[in-house]
Structure 1
Amino acid sequence: MTEQELAAAQKVPTHEGVLRAMTKIADILPKTPLLPLEVDGVTIWCKAEMLQPIGAFKIRGAWHRLSDLNAEERAQGVVGVSSGNHAQGVAWAAKRLGISATIVMPSNAPRMKLEATKALGAEVVLYDRATESREEVAAALIAQSGATLVHAFGDPWVIEGQGTAGIEIAQQLCDFGLSGPDMIVSCCGGGGLASGLALACPNAEIAIVEPEGWDDIIRSLAAGEILPVKDLTHPTYCDALQTPQTYPVNFEILRNCVSYGVSVTTDEVATAMRVVFESLHLVVEPGGAVALAAVLTGKIQPKGVTAVTLSGGNVDRELFVKLLAQAA
């Protein structure tokens, strides 16, 4: 564990922390829509996080983390690790707060995510996802500058910030005259979103969904210990969910809160993307569609009032068209 990880581990993410993050985020961002979608005669509620200013939920955790930095930490800047959505969240928050940001991103990240991160003013450092460790690259940058690591999922502030989506879901359901949620089906990469949702909605069943070949958290929960991805070269279009392994801070929450975990295929993800496009008239990226894919296939059965995360919409146009055609 690096010095930065140890520092982050000194804070324990809590429900109260999620509520504090919600107060901060409500001051700068409107709630994203919670949209009904009928699946086999059952209404589920889709949280449309692709409508965030950066096109993904990651802006929540990034804002909570960066806005809590003290003056000295802000002066030294931040370093993030991300395939693109967290990168944009950190860059957006850093720009608004006047903080310099460097983001370690895979060289094969989607073009639009790379360009959007740079456009927000962040410096981008590329690494090879198959042969290099992004944590090691980030640690070297931090050693040079003294910057604060803002990890994509293994940071307590980030976890609390992501959990604000769950607070909004509960509030929006109440506005519709519904209690709950009874179940939340969450897209899952490193576990930051799922962990935050579990803290936000402690009475809800949490189900996680990972892409086929990148199901390390599902396997870890079954084994009772953190296991890495078996093959870092396994092909997937779900770049947002390609995390080598989860962190202890996430695992400790998830092992006590997750009721179900399933993986989905590329074809199943493509079908979910098409359903979102045709039924909700929105664009969702592959990684942001896995939770809905699990419900559409029946791998996860809704229980009571069920919410599903549509966690992002940052997808290159060519890939979006390809996958929609594949699902036709």
Structure 2
Amino acid sequence: MADVSLCLPLTRESVQSAYDFIRANVHKTPVLTSRTLNGIASTQQATSPDCAKPSIRLFFKCENYQKIGAFKARGAFHALLRLFHHLGEDEVRRRGVVTHSSGNHAQALAFAAHTYNVPAHIVMPSISTASKIAGTKSHGANVVFSGSTSEEREAVVAQVIRDTGAILVPPYDHPDIILGQGTAALEFEEKVGEMQSTPLDAVITPLGGGGLLSGTATYFAPTSTRVFGAEPSFQGADDGRRGLEAGKRVESIKTLTIADGLRTPVGLIPWTVISDREKVAGLYSVSEDQIKEAMKLVLERMKVVIEPSAAVPLAVVLFNEEFRKLVEREAGEKGWDIGVIFSGGNTTVEAIAKLFS
């Protein structure tokens, strides 16, 4: 990967620079609203009589409509184009690139590499969603299978590098990836500015490795918009939240949450942003059933297909009582305009049917 010392700093201005680099290669995805989901979010009742009743207006940044079906295209194109800038196109094409991913970054790097005629080696867990494996292969990448943990993936990546000399493009733990993912926040702010005169009070994104959340927080840090992260709680997948409580990053997790894009621990560089309370105001987690319920509401009420990982932030808004009480307390009668980033839509009819069978 590009030497971190050569990368742009993690600032709002650097996100703008990243956008200038990649804007010709990515879709400017839409922002949708839903009066029905606003009503559900503002009236969702818990069993306790003192449950929170915040006033919430939702805005959805639909990265499920991005190229390859997820926000990851942004970071992959930015990282590859920065490699061209630092090493030269001929050298990158000679060596090729390698990464590890459960699916969305895999497809994103395969697509970016195919676009620029660069060989790509993609290490994927053998339990990855079949459609994500097929999507990665469709772009001509060499797919190598591994175990499901980050340690198992990284061991196979190291072997591929020894065998081929390929250049590592990490799925999340690098400034070029973080700044690329932050461009979704830039578009989000611009579009909401066209829709109304006031900025978003908050934005909430999924948290896996941390590229999207740290990129979003980097972009919004100098503004009044607060940024939050959302995680599954199943089998310790909420390592970010637990890390904040313990005061140190959780280095490894092993979970089979249905939110398969969030099965990795927070990366070292994203952690420096996410653990800064001036940049990320809080992390919240939800159960598997709550993720499925949020996903079902989006499908049935908005007619939008998202994958489970993308439903996690909405599940926090709807069901996490701690977050809802915070909104009620901070927003008062005015309520909050909350931006939710739908991170991707890479699922299948069969997978959805299995979830809800």
Verify same fold: TM over 0.5. yes
Distance in 1 of aligned mates of 2:95 and 2:259:
33
3-state SS of 1:289 partner: helix
Question: Which residue does 1:215 correspond to in 2?
Answer: 238
Q: Does 1:36 align with 2:33?
A: yes
Q: Does 1:271 align with 2:303?
A: no
Question: Which residue does 2:267 correspond to in 1?
Answer: 247
Which amino acid in 2 is paired with 1:170? Answer: E
CA displacement 1:55-110 (0-9 Å, x = unmatched): 11000000101112222123211101100000011011101111111111000000
The answer as to whether partners of 1:162 and 1:197 remain within 8 angstroms in 2 is: yes
Structure 1 residues without counterparts, runs of 5 or longer: none
Give how far 1:258 is off: 1.6
Question: Which residue does 2:125 correspond to in 1?
Answer: 106
Question: Which residue does 2:48 correspond to in 1?
Answer: none
Distance in 1 of aligned mates of 2:102 and 2:248:
25
Distance in 2 of aligned mates of 1:154 and 1:292:
25
CA displacement 1:142-193 (0-9 Å, x = unmatched): 2332221111110111100000010001000111123322211110101100
The answer as to whether partners of 2:286 and 2:320 remain within 8 angstroms in 1 is: no
3-state SS of 2:67 partner: coil
3-state SS of 2:128 partner: coil
Distance in 2 of aligned mates of 1:60 and 1:86:
10
Question: Which residue does 2:77 correspond to in 1?
Answer: 63
Q: Does 1:26 align with 2:28?
A: no
Distance in 2 of aligned mates of 1:136 and 1:130:
10
Distance in 1 of aligned mates of 2:94 and 2:179:
24
The structure 2 residue matched to 1:227, chosen from 240, 250, 257, is: 250
Distance in 1 of aligned mates of 2:181 and 2:149:
27
Q: Does 1:309 align with 2:351?
A: no
Instruction: Please show how residues 140-289 of structure 1 align to structure 2 within 5 Å.
Output: 140-202=159-221, 203=223, 204-212=225-233, 213-230=236-253, 232=254, 234-243=255-264, 245-256=265-276, 257-289=279-311
Q: Does 1:86 align with 2:105?
A: yes
CA displacement 1:209-247 (0-9 Å, x = unmatched): 1111201111112222111345x1x3311111110x222
Give how far 1:201 is off: 1.1
Give how far 1:42 is off: 2.6
3-state SS of 2:281 partner: strand
Which amino acid in 1 is paired with 2:12? Answer: H
Bigger drift between 8-17 and 113-122 goes to 8-17
Which amino acid in 2 is paired with 1:34? Answer: V
Bigger drift between 297-306 and 149-158 goes to 297-306
Give how far 1:132 is off: 5.3
TM-score between the two structures when normalised by the length of structure 2: 0.84
Distance in 1 of aligned mates of 2:197 and 2:252:
39
Question: Which residue does 1:53 correspond to in 2?
Answer: 67
Give how far 1:10 is off: 5.4
Give how far 1:15 is off: 2.1
Which amino acid in 2 is paired with 1:216? Answer: D
Cα 1:289–1:201 shift into 2, 3 Å = same
**Higher-helix-fraction structure:** 2
- Number of aligned pairs? 318
Which amino acid in 2 is paired with 1:210? Answer: E
Q: Which has the greater radius of gyration? A: 2
The answer as to whether partners of 1:73 and 1:148 remain within 8 angstroms in 2 is: yes
Give how far 1:259 is off: 1.2
Which amino acid in 1 is paired with 2:240? Answer: I
The answer as to whether partners of 2:68 and 2:111 remain within 8 angstroms in 1 is: yes
Distance in 1 of aligned mates of 2:13 and 2:281:
23
Identity of aligned residues (%): 36
Structure 2 residues without counterparts, runs of 5 or longer: 43-54
Cα 1:131–1:263 shift into 2, 3 Å = closer
